[in-house]
Structure 1
Amino acid sequence: MALTAWSENGGLLPVIVRTDAVSAEAVDLMNNSRPVEIHDGRILLEIGSVPVTLRLKGATRAEFAGNPVRLESADIALPGKTYRFAAKLTNPLDEPAEFALEFRAPAGFRPEKTQRRITVPAGKTVELACELHADETLRPAFGVPVSLTADYRLSGDTVKGSIAIPVRVAQVVPQGATAGRAPDFTLAHRRQVRELFTGDPSRGHLLWKGPRDLSGQVSLGTEGANLLLLVRVTDNIHCQPERGANTWMGDNVQFALELPGRKDAWEFGLTRLADGSPEVWCWNAPEGFAPASAARGIALATSRKGTETVYRAKIPFETLGLTPELLKKGFRFNLLINDNDGGGRQGWISIAPGIGERKDPSQFPFVIFD
């Protein structure tokens, strides 16, 4: 008998399998196997995002018996604030069991309690309310996973393992002008770059050479009932042969927002055309909004000096359906800078994944205005 399992939440997930198998082994996608212990007819299997197959020798039955430990949170981490999460403990045994937990917090966080112990009745689930405290100096590095890990033991060492969940960290943006302060986002790291010709030796000259080749600084702000967006791009060659919907094929800026309560996300393009004039394009709008009308509502000014191109956009709140309340509640935001040095689009650099290769707002940074 064989079972295949994987986790869709991005972290490790322990599962209990009841079986009458004589022995068991876990097999990965490369057909590498490792033995898995069976305790009193129960197997603990830790699964991740990559599928694994559990082979059960001599088994006539196998059933899912629950997750002994789950970590859950709907919270957003903010500098200097408390991040709340829950540890749900399920006892799959036929007798009371003691759970021992030890939390390993990500950099920039401190757990309220590093260790917790609790006895859970047979077949029951107990939920523990837990907290992390985020440092005042916490600065998210978007695109780099931030995870909270719990090492656990159940009834001594009968069942033990680790479980992790991603921690969502928000970027706090001060309201007001964008001038006179550090940028909210910096695009200058190799992990933020996506190249389209990595495997083509004949186009090696088009590969990213570093921040002087392509990089950017992004600042958000407010002015009255307007959202401000300032993007400073360092690009050794500015090339934009397109207009309108095809401007993503040349040098330009794409940015996207997903507002709470809206069906679908906004996606705009900010472009300095070949003749130096500015252009705004809207590829996508939430239900109830007109893309062309939204693009006309945005005031854009661009400039180019040396290797720096600057984009300054003023976006009325009403154009986006944005309100002062939503600024404080927060929304998802992402941005990329396209690169074309004259031989076609060669790639881009983005704040975080989810806007370039495929559209996935769940990967966008979460922004809160303070």
Structure 2
Amino acid sequence: MTFLKTLPTTLLALACLGLAVPPLAAAAPPKPAKKAVKKAPPKKPAIDYTGEFVNFGQWKEVQQFMGDMEQKHGVPIAELEKLFLELRYIDAAVQLVKPAPPGKPKNWQAYRARFIEPQRINAGVEFWRNHRDTLARAEALYGVPAEIIVGIIGVETIYGRDMGKFRVLDVLATLAFAYPLAPNRDTRMAFFRGELEASIISARQTGLDPLTLVGSFAGAVGMPQFMPGNIYKLGVDFDGDGKVDLRNSAADAIGSVANFLVAHGWKREQPATLAYPASMSPAMAWEKFIDNGLDAKFRAEELTAAGVSTATPLPPGMLYGLVDLQNGSEPTEYWVGSNNFFSITKYNRSYFYAMSVVELGRAVKLSMKETL
């Protein structure tokens, strides 16, 4: 009876009549739940490097600029009008120079990971080996260690592998006359007008077609990403071929980087260590040394008295600055930077940048030793 109780009603009736009971069909297994299909993240829109025609020459500010160029440098307005007819408005440059949205915390470790990584280190080793003699010559002449020069060129363009795809005059004209709304808009527009002026004058003096210059979204050029004004003022013909070519001459890039740092305060007599990890006193008297600009201003004794301590004693007779490297929700790293550390911040006004240059140069140098 136990068996019969388990049969469905129809089959139970057949069994009671003595008829054969067909075998029970196996219960269908439950259908597996459909996995949620992950939607692919939306593709970033392709960067528009070519821009659009806006006839800059009709803009009042551009007409004034052309008049100033003729008056200051003797460039005929007709020549400039013809040039500006070729230029295009690059909206991508406008979007890229906008400041980051407020509230997003800075994260040194995330920033560091972009630059201190195997591809860039290996490329640095190759660059150093290929230009060992040139780097040694620059170090002897300018007093800037090879590892710092290597660090800068590596951070900037991975040793010439990524020098930018924007036509320089396009982005300079766009940012000189259509910079996005920002508290420092007038200052930035004046800066880019100066860079546009330098580009045009330099091209005329060297016989270069200014429309062939290609660089970053802000107009920086070549392996070391010099702005045109700095090429004009601080570029070095380090290979002796009679011209400064930061796009194709590694020697010119090396000499120009070293010359830039010396022009911005690098001192050859200072120790090779540029930054010292620091521990901070809970009393926090040291807070007054934070956010004091991009210069070394304080004596070692002042920092020590305020509760800043370093594992290695700070060399006497030098000036220092307190560097805070924020790590998002993680604790901030503190370092004491020397005068030469702050010279690197003149290349790019950022503690993160300067520290990444130092650490990339150190990593490449260490890798060089390991592979010898």
> What TM-score results when the alignment is normalised by the length of structure 1?
0.19
Larger helix share, 1 or 2: 2
Larger strand share, 1 or 2: 1
